[in-house]
Chains A and B, each alone.
Chain A
């Protein structure tokens, strides 16, 4: 037999499927039993079936390299799903909704009265030095007061099983299409398990996204014209942009397809002439959105777009400026925001975070660089990080210098020993670290994906799950415990 759970060791870590060597968690029992019943040849066949499905479906992401330009890579997928019992998931879901409600109130406050700053809950100097605060957006009232319509929050689980929020992505979070495609692949690979398990479906997301976008349309009458705005085919997430537009049945546009008219309304160029656009799900960063308002060099954006948005003639999701909360210093203060705006206790904890901008905390960070993870405040994709315990002396000294020079731009966190989950290596299973990115939609109501995208660090011992750096992904099952 190929997979022997007795030999599976995730020492000192929380494993998502196994309680101990040879003993699966209740929700994972059927899966583990089934895997054990497969021969090496059968496992190899399932793997090949998954690879074939991914290749044929054309699921790719783009990786940039200095020499070769960009290349398409097939999406790395592991056929063993990650399982979360529905009871636990309901609690996480509630926590995420709470968090995003607070974040939206926070952003709206920052662009209006800044009560939270006046009440000294949020330090004014952090706001003043925020890279993603857009003064151009002050005083704007987006529909329903929502700024971050689509949020991707990264969750990690520590040794003791506690689930923490690691970061909130409020600019243009990506990955949801892989969540949807992973399920399709998984169904082709293990159809029999879908009969045995009661697995909550994930495929409602495109409809939910469409409904959310409709709910923020400025014109009340008729069916709104919704578009997805992409930087174009060379963007690493282009696959997802095209995929979501297709799933929603809306146009996928590039900046050159759109124009702002003299009436400050947005139009797209079609074979019939110009057509008015109501809602833009934009997958372009703020600074490239409108050369008139932001980066004048941008050729991806649409001249006058911000003007049209401020006049309320078009809705933008996410709203420009929403990224102000997508800052790891701001992140550290989210639990305070939840208490301040909602008068509730946070359901999901943050990873403890030291702000280098704070003198005492900075000294602590500098003295403990060998134990901490240091992150720049505004980077994503796992770039520019120091993983203290794994870094060399020289690297740590370099970071100490960076922190002293620009303390506002750095935070530090203890190294969370990310949970593991069984992952195929050849035809054997080994523990690999995972995180989870659920997506939260905010419009008329708040919706959370069932589960989300599980990212897995395929390299042994690695905790870097980003697809640009050797990460893969898994299907994520929210299963009803009663029905197991």
Chain B
């Protein structure tokens, strides 16, 4: 497999995953705000933090109000991480690897981009937003399913999975980082019921609520949520799971020593951790070290398998 193709497959999957995650974030936040009293409302600013786009947002918008943030995250071409841009980049990557993915997958990527582009207005309107975002989420999942069911599970598929899982791991820890911080400052007794709602929101952002209930069979509490989201071995959006996925993919690729070493260390870090015992500062440090590890892992994969000298993000 060509290095350039490997790179495109990897990024196609990352961008698709990014679009799906962003759609879920907006959807859940829209819902969450309806359940919270006005004085507790964390508003829309956390979404800008989670997607790491504070500077770009500030350059184009005055206030992180609902309309601005939603517009920024859905369709703003100035935001490289907007749903529309992510799907556009995914499409360009897919286009260059058309000979590697099943035709239906390419058609679906193309169609999803056009859907997201042509229906942007629905995403901005509160009443139609849910359906619009659901269309994006289901569209990406359909592609994921198509690829799983119709693409040869060769090295190329491995690169796709690596891209998807790295992006997923990244998004999971960002959501935890920002949300847990926002949750804490209140700490007063009267806010407790709402804190509960917000942790539910975190789980829902990751489509993890139902699975959490099944696994934990307990009410939603910070220590349990953290343990679940970091360490659950069977839930596909938990950090441990996503990193193990990358590790498994690497085991089937040639010249894997360096990236495999990195990913194994990262997994051990998660295995050895006790996130449920960490206070906010410790949690933040832990997340920082994971973030660093993910970046190094990406660089190792890129140095080993992609074309020299070029890298996009």
- To the question of whether A and B form a pair in one complex, the answer is yes
Question: Is B1's CB under 8 angstroms from A270's CB?
Answer: yes
Cα distance A270–B107 when bound, in Å?
26
Chain A residues with Cβ below 8 Å from B149 are none
Question: Is B99's CB under 8 angstroms from A246's CB?
Answer: yes
**A253 within 8 Å of B (CB atoms):** yes
Interface residues of A in 236-262 (CB under 8 A from B): 238, 242-243, 245-246, 249-254, 256-257
Question: Is A233's CB under 8 angstroms from B307's CB?
Answer: no
Given A242-B99, A256-B307, decide whether A271 and B6 contact each other with a Cβ distance below 8 A.
yes
Cα distance A139–B292 when bound, in Å?
58
Chain A residues with Cβ below 8 Å from B96 are 233, 242, 252
**B224 within 8 Å of A (CB atoms):** no
**B153 within 8 Å of A (CB atoms):** no
Chain B residues with Cβ below 8 Å from A233 are 92, 95-96
Question: Is A56's CB under 8 angstroms from B107's CB?
Answer: yes
**A269 within 8 Å of B (CB atoms):** yes
**B245 within 8 Å of A (CB atoms):** no
Q: Nearest CB to that of B104 among chain A residues?
A: A56
Cα distance A257–B2 when bound, in Å?
7
Question: Is B2's CB under 8 angstroms from A58's CB?
Answer: no
Cα distance A244–B255 when bound, in Å?
30
Chain B residues with Cβ below 8 Å from A253 are 2, 4
**B170 within 8 Å of A (CB atoms):** no
Chain A residues with Cβ below 8 Å from B255 are 271-273
**A465 within 8 Å of B (CB atoms):** no
Chain B interface residue count, CB cutoff 8 Å, equals 25
* CB of A324 to closest CB in B, whole Å: 32
Question: Is A58's CB under 8 angstroms from B4's CB?
Answer: no
Chain A residues with Cβ below 8 Å from B103 are 246
Cα distance A100–B1 when bound, in Å?
36
Cα distance A55–B115 when bound, in Å?
12
Chain A interface residue count, CB cutoff 8 Å, equals 24
- The contact of A270 among B2, B111, B114, by CB within 8 Å, is B2
Looking at A251, A253, A271, the one whose CB has the most chain B CB atoms below 10 A away is A271
Q: Nearest CB to that of A253 among chain B residues?
A: B2
* CB of B112 to closest CB in A, whole Å: 11
**B155 within 8 Å of A (CB atoms):** yes
Q: Nearest CB to that of A272 among chain B residues?
A: B254
**B253 within 8 Å of A (CB atoms):** yes
Q: Say what secondary structure dominates the interface of chain B.
A: helix
* CB of B68 to closest CB in A, whole Å: 27
**B106 within 8 Å of A (CB atoms):** yes
- The contact of B95 among A55, A56, A242, A271, by CB within 8 Å, is A242
Q: Mark A327-364, 1 if CB is under 8 A from B, else 0.
A: 00000000000000000000000000000000000000
Cα distance A249–B99 when bound, in Å?
7
Question: Is B307's CB under 8 angstroms from A257's CB?
Answer: yes
* CB of B26 to closest CB in A, whole Å: 27
Interface residues of A in 253-292 (CB under 8 A from B): 253-254, 256-257, 268-273
**A57 within 8 Å of B (CB atoms):** yes
* CB of B87 to closest CB in A, whole Å: 14
Given A56-B111, A233-B92, decide whether A271 and B99 contact each other with a Cβ distance below 8 A.
no
Given A256-B307, A271-B254, decide whether A58 and B3 contact each other with a Cβ distance below 8 A.
no
Cα distance A238–B98 when bound, in Å?
11
* CB of B103 to closest CB in A, whole Å: 8
Question: Is B4's CB under 8 angstroms from A271's CB?
Answer: no
Q: Mark B84-95, 1 if CB is under 8 A from A, else 0.
A: 000000001001
Q: Nearest CB to that of A55 among chain B residues?
A: B114
* CB of B89 to closest CB in A, whole Å: 12
Chain A residues with Cβ below 8 Å from B155 are 271
Q: Mark A41-66, 1 if CB is under 8 A from B, else 0.
A: 00000000000000111100000000
Cα distance A421–B106 when bound, in Å?
34
Question: Is A271's CB under 8 angstroms from B253's CB?
Answer: yes
* CB of B216 to closest CB in A, whole Å: 40
Given A55-B114, A233-B95, decide whether A269 and B3 contact each other with a Cβ distance below 8 A.
yes
Chain A residues with Cβ below 8 Å from B1 are 270-272
Q: Nearest CB to that of A72 among chain B residues?
A: B95
Chain B residues with Cβ below 8 Å from A257 are 2-4, 307
Chain B residues with Cβ below 8 Å from A256 are 4, 307
Q: Mark B104-122, 1 if CB is under 8 A from A, else 0.
A: 0011001100100000000
29 contacts between A and B (CB under 8 A): A55-B110, A55-B111, A56-B110, A57-B107, A58-B95, A58-B107, A242-B95, A242-B99, A243-B98, A245-B99, A246-B98, A246-B103, A249-B99, A251-B2, A251-B5, A253-B2, A253-B4, A256-B307, A257-B2, A257-B3, A257-B4, A257-B307, A268-B2, A269-B4, A270-B2, A271-B255, A271-B304, A272-B1, A273-B255
Binding site for A on B (CB under 8 A): 1-6, 92, 95-96, 98-99, 103, 106-107, 110-111, 114, 155, 159, 253-255, 304-305, 307
The 3 closest A-B pairs by CB, nearest first: A246-B99, A58-B110, A271-B305
List 18 additional contacts besides A242-B95, A251-B2, A270-B3; criterion CB under 8 Å: A56-B111, A58-B107, A242-B96, A246-B103, A249-B99, A251-B5, A256-B307, A257-B2, A257-B4, A257-B307, A268-B2, A269-B307, A270-B1, A271-B3, A271-B155, A271-B253, A271-B305, A273-B254
